[in-house]
Structure 1
């Protein structure tokens, strides 16, 4: 005779379905979430685009790392775009549309045909962890009786600024303001009021300017389809049973508290890359942390860093989606060179647009760079940020990069590009005070001054604050910390969903 506990042990564990938007900034933290769930001995099905799956297999060890966990499986689906589509910059918006029109119908068909992924060894899905931009998820889950957990890869502050869209619109605190002659209103607005403070977002009064609102607000038309889609997806969050944030209460506690008025359960478990490291150490697991690089990493830059003095190098990377003009590349290069600081710049081969995009750096500048700087196409970013030679990070302020820099104790110079980056950069400069925000300008003199301020003039001030904040976020994912406890609570919550 078997006891109840024996029967419980014979039952399959919870089965979590994860579906990220197929861009690196969303794929990366959701792969790490999958890793954490595998460490909790859950079954995990991870939806990935065919294109990203091929690139993961080519450029990472993710497949080999996940092979340690028999309960994990990738399921790949087309994203509906041709192989040569850029899928970055403004092409990312086309990707979002194609996912909705092509990937989602194929996903729904697969789920029904395969009985919601049930098998002899695997129960039907226990819950659906959906990227916060997947607006189909609430209807899909309600129609099929599946608990929905929304994963927000960006900051709680960004979510909150989008969620408050109706109040911002009513208060005319965003550039178009509902005026009938929108294009004229925007020009006038930008000229006069972009530095005015926002008053309609509780928790961010006193420091958030109109200039710092999410990039999706920067449109000429109130009916812009991308803005409408993003707002609609965010406003549906109260239909989820729970929300997972890749953030922590020490960084955004007041905003998380505001969110909890609208969402029944909010689990702040970040920084998720540090949570994975800690849990691997705690379990004495052999597996290494899983990364989601979609480009080949040039590890020769680590050898170059090894030869540089401590805290002497500024690391420059504008992420996986940012596009630069050749003119902007030249402004940044001149600013870097005139600052007399050593630098390591990640310049993606597809990151420069316009004429001369394939050869953006003139030969005479390449000569000046030798010995002082290094250009690479992609780098192992976490390893770079934690290298003792790195003393600053010039960044697009993507949330993954920002969290990695915070955890590494590296001050930032922020040049945001889109989405949550406009808001993140303001938090870096005005709330956490661990860097400078130079948004909406690309001038070599301003760039040079920011670099000198961070690496020389105010170096000690920024390093002290960055070091203290790094210690704080490390504590939050350690045993007894808020993110550590929130992760354990999330695991128990998912277990409670098993019927």
Structure 2
């Protein structure tokens, strides 16, 4: 661990993420960063997530490296065999909102030393604010989505007031949205969060609920975002008109790497709730420079067997090398056409889960076919890897448009038929015909991302300001 100027043996922060991989991993990185400065951290999560961290990550390695970090857990109220992914994710959110409050209050009230503040996942905006207020502890919200998506959620009521919503059928999908301040004329209806469509079966929160939870952050003392000023500055200036205290501390994975010495016992995989297959790194080591497209659709999204096969055919037909993460809960069957097996043996490698940060940073990786979750997007931007975006739900539609239209570092494949010919064409555009164009843009953004987490960079400074602010909140505790 690097020696830090700021050490603190009294400040105690409780952190509560939404209990899914992307949220837990991101907020656990913040916990590690605060622990590096000797803040006491109580990290609250569900029994299910904690069990998976023990099984597939390495909590003991984290605790040895971060002795001021501790874990507390509570039951999420769902049966042990509940999938907690895909369309069933809605059950998890409802159950947390129904059952979590007394458990979190008990953990908070029994915490020693006395808590300084509560950093809660803003996706549970009302729950976390209510808990903090009931136990008289200052609340800070962390949103694991992009600033652009947070701002879009916040502006949903304005979109209705200006008659930009609702969306009026498929013929309305290319209508341009003109009244999101700072992002005028960037988004079409099809680029808005999936819940704005009002017809999808995979909506986790209904529109009014998500807009409500986002606006609950107005009741918090501050807002933390996993982004950086050079990436989303115009939107952040609009957000600060409503939320004066905003800390942009991302990319968090790069921030953590910049502040701690490399330690093989605390790799990003220690935060993982899926079993990592590191054989793919060995395979990548034998591939030419920038020759591999990495394919992963995250930890939650499900893919039908029909779509999976179309993507597979497209990858094989492209004649490009590919590394593909196919989770064991999403492949839908065992019978694979012979031509796909043969094509994969020649140029492909498939694993159940990969160490994504390490993969994206590998010299052999030249592109990323992604679901456009914000963590994946940021990790790809920081590594200088262009993207093909195939969003599924939630914030992913916003992110895919941001990547293709604002950052110009990839292609947006939303709302097109999942067809092998389209996949083949997109892969060949990204990895062949337009390779230099996208690589140049991606490398320029990667430079800005990594500068932001270097000493004197904006995100580095914002994390220092956040730590000073948290310490000052201790004066509010009676």
Common fold, TM-score beyond 0.5? yes
Corresponding residue of 1:180: none
Corresponding residue of 1:182: none
Q: Which runs of 5+ in 2 are unaligned?
A: 1-5
Instruction: Please say if 1:102 is aligned against 2:99.
Output: yes
Aligned length: 465
User: Where has structure 1 moved over 4 Å in runs of 4 or more?
Assistant: 9-12, 284-287
**Structure 1 residue 11: deviation in Å?**
8.7
RMSD: 2.0
Contact 1:478 1:484 in 2 (8 A): yes
Contact 1:280 1:287 in 2 (8 A): no
- Looking at structure 2, the residues matched to 348 and 286 of structure 1 have their Cα atoms a distance apart, in angstroms, of 25
Corresponding residue of 2:309: 330
Give the counterpart of 1:493 among 444, 466, 469.
Answer: 469
Corresponding residue of 2:428: 452
Give the counterpart of 2:65 among 62, 65, 68.
Answer: 68
Contact 1:314 1:394 in 2 (8 A): yes
Contact 2:101 2:131 in 1 (8 A): no
Aligned runs of 1:150-165 on 2, under 5 Å?
150-165=141-156
SS, match of residue 71 in structure 2: strand
- Looking at structure 1, the residues matched to 225 and 210 of structure 2 have their Cα atoms a distance apart, in angstroms, of 17
Contact 2:195 2:205 in 1 (8 A): no
SS, match of residue 48 in structure 1: strand
The structure-2 alpha-carbon separation of the partners of 1:286 and 1:369, relative to structure 1 and needing over 3 Å to count, comes to closer
Aligned runs of 1:153-232 on 2, under 5 Å?
153-174=144-165, 177=166, 189-220=168-199, 226-232=206-212
Corresponding residue of 2:3: none
Corresponding residue of 1:247: 227
The structure-2 alpha-carbon separation of the partners of 1:480 and 1:369, relative to structure 1 and needing over 3 Å to count, comes to same
Corresponding residue of 2:257: 277
Give the counterpart of 1:404 among 367, 374, 379.
Answer: 379
**Structure 1 residue 492: deviation in Å?**
0.6
- Could you list the per-position Cα deviations for residues 419-447 of structure 1 after superposition, in whole angstroms to 9, with x for gaps in the alignment? 11100010110101000000012122211
Contact 1:240 1:263 in 2 (8 A): no
Give the counterpart of 1:468 among 444, 456, 469.
Answer: 444
Instruction: Please say if 1:258 is aligned against 2:238.
Output: yes
Larger radius of gyration: 1
- Could you list the per-position Cα deviations for residues 52-85 of structure 1 after superposition, in whole angstroms to 9, with x for gaps in the alignment? 1111111112332222333211001111112211
Corresponding residue of 2:266: 288
Corresponding residue of 2:55: 58
SS, match of residue 363 in structure 2: coil
- Looking at structure 2, the residues matched to 253 and 379 of structure 1 have their Cα atoms a distance apart, in angstroms, of 32
Contact 1:241 1:264 in 2 (8 A): no
TM-score (norm 2): 0.93
- Looking at structure 1, the residues matched to 74 and 318 of structure 2 have their Cα atoms a distance apart, in angstroms, of 47
Corresponding residue of 2:120: 130
The structure-2 alpha-carbon separation of the partners of 1:220 and 1:333, relative to structure 1 and needing over 3 Å to count, comes to closer
Contact 1:329 1:360 in 2 (8 A): no
**Structure 1 residue 464: deviation in Å?**
0.8
The structure-2 alpha-carbon separation of the partners of 1:371 and 1:83, relative to structure 1 and needing over 3 Å to count, comes to same
**Structure 1 residue 393: deviation in Å?**
0.3
Contact 1:248 1:268 in 2 (8 A): yes
